[in-house]
Amino acid sequence: MKTHSKSLIASATCLALVTLAACGGDDAGPADAASDAGDYESGTLVIQGSSPDINSAWQANVDRQFTERTGATIEWLPGAAPTNLTKLLQSKGGEPPADVVFLDTPTQTQAIAADLLEELDRDLLTESGEFLPDEVYPNEGYGPANIVIRLGTCVNTERIQQAGIQLQGSIDDWFDPALAGHFSMPDISTFYTQATLPALAAHFDVDFDDPAGLLDKIEEAQPVSFWTSTADVQQSLQSGDVWVTPILDGRCLNLTLQGSPSSSSH
């Protein structure tokens, strides 16, 4: 945001509370909450968000209310949690890439450790703070989570049927030799792998104190790629470049609703 109004950043936290996982800004202290549009500077709030389709969904729910309340507008930039964190780290000590930044739980934790985020005073969230339970705050004192996700295996059913592969509908499918070169996993830097690894370790009875054993197991799957963007891997599933991958169930459902030959299992 050009003026870096602290009160504007605070108001965006209130209005975008259900859509953003963390907030970023300059090094000034917290601002007082404002009660009407007259208390805000006019300007543009820059939000480094998620993929364009997710940004569009947030935009439809936030933009009009934000402008009505503040007189300011929002500029939405596409991104992903790992790349957003990288941009924050690269800009440390200088101009931040945005006023508000989308992060997931692991990247938010790393950003806090690197002193990249402002603390959030929940008492300033006059619109919705009182309705949010403690569980939605991955790190106390910082931005709330906006969503609880469910991961599952998404399958391009057309390619699987053409190859004559019989899947079991479990994690064991990832290690089917017939899928070598057609299976993709989330990159280790993403939240999705960090959410998946405990389930993978439990499934194969791999000790948490033996990460090498877990990495050896992943190597057995012979992933053709490691994705960082759910939007990108959704396109790879749709095109047939990838036949099977763990992904958000909503992404897989979206493919099905679009008429793509896909199904999910959990």
Q: Do residue 21 and residue 130 come from a single domain?
A: yes
Q: Does residue 243 lie within any of the structural domains?
A: yes
pLDDT class for 26, splitting at 50, 70, 90? very low
Residues 18, 128: contact at Cβ < 8 Å? yes
159 and 105 in a common domain: no
Residue 26: CB partners within 8 Å, gap ≥ 6?
4, 6, 96
Number of structural domains in the chain: 2
| Domain C-terminal end among 136, 170, 200 | 136
Q: For the residues 99-126, what does the mean pLDDT come to? A: 85
Q: Is residue 44 part of a domain?
A: yes
> How far apart are alpha carbons 217 and 211 in whole angstroms?
10
The larger pLDDT score, comparing residue 101 to residue 25, is at 101
Residue 129 shares a structural domain with residue 162: no
Supply the CATH number for residue 129's domain. Answer: 3.40.190
Nearest to 237 by CA among 220, 218, 221, 253: 253
pLDDT of residue 13: 29
* Alpha carbon distances (Å) from 214 to 204, 206, 210, 243: 9, 6, 7, 23
pLDDT band at 128 (very low <50, low <70, confident <90, very high): low
Alpha helices for the chain (secondary structure H) = 6-15, 52-70, 81-90, 105-113, 157-163, 191-203, 211-220, 230-239, 249-257
Question: Is 171 found in the same domain as 256?
Answer: yes
Q: How confident is the model at residue 36 (pLDDT cuts 50, 70, 90)?
A: very low
The reply to whether 164 and 260 lie within a common domain is: yes
Pick from 146, 148, 138, 147: nearest CA to 117: 138
Task: Report the chain's mean pLDDT, rounded to a whole number.
Answer: 77
Please indicate, yes or no, whether residues 186 and 73 belong to a single structural domain of this protein: no
Domain identity same for 155 and 123:
no
Domain membership of residue 16 as a residue range: 6-136
At 129 the pLDDT is 58
Tokens of 254: 């979206």
75 pLDDT band (50/70/90 cuts)? very high
Domain with residue 230: its CATH number is 3.40.190.10
**What is d(CA 169, CA 225) in angstroms, rounded to the nearest whole number?**
21
Q: What was the pLDDT predicted at 245? A: 92
13, 116: one domain: yes
Asked if 247 contacts 234 with a C-beta cutoff of 8 angstroms, the reply is yes
Rg (CA), the chain: 21
Residues 16 and 130 in one domain: yes
On whether residue 119 sits in a domain, the answer given is yes
User: At which of 106, 136, 166 does a domain end?
Assistant: 136
Average pLDDT over residues 136-157: 82
For residue 1, pLDDT beyond 70 = no
Q: Are residue 199 and residue 155 in the same domain, yes or no?
A: yes
Residues 88 and 191 in one domain: no
Residue that is last in its domain, among 86, 101, 136? 136
